[in-house]
């Protein structure tokens, strides 16, 4: 199955993310963990936005900002293209 992520990543319950190919580790806050798990399941951006609003009871502007920030950081760390 093809993945959105450039390498194999494992996220623990505590939010500790491990990249198996590089050995790098990251810490995700609850919002990041939620978005990451949605992306892992293959959920598309607009649906993640809706689910974020429901999960954290925030408005669309806040949810969009969180999603955009998270995706930007994933790109910065070269975890996605």
Q: DSSP secondary-structure letter at 13?
A: T
Question: In the block, which residue shows the tokens 């093809």?
Answer: 2
Q: Which pairing describes strands 9-11 and 16-19: parallel, antiparallel, or unpaired? A: antiparallel
The answer to the question of residue 3 lying near another protein (CB under 8 A) is no
The answer to the question of residue 71 lying near another protein (CB under 8 A) is no
Interface residue with another protein, options 24, 43, 58, 71 (CB under 8 A)? 24
The answer to the question of residue 65 lying near another protein (CB under 8 A) is no
As a whole number of angstroms, the distance between CA 51 and CA 36 comes to: 12
Contact footprint for another protein (CB under 8 A): 7-8, 10, 18, 20-24
């Amino acid at each position: 199955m093809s993945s959105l992520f450039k390498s194999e990543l494992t996220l623990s319950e505590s939010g500790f993310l491990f990249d198996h190919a590089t050995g790098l580790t990251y810490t995700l806050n609850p919002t990041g963990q939620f978005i990451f798990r949605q992306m892992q399941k293959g959920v598309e951006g607009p649906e993640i936005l809706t689910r974020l609003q429901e999960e954290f009871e925030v408005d669309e502007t806040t949810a969009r900002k969180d999603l955009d920030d998270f995706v930007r950081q994933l790109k910065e760390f070269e975890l996605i293209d």
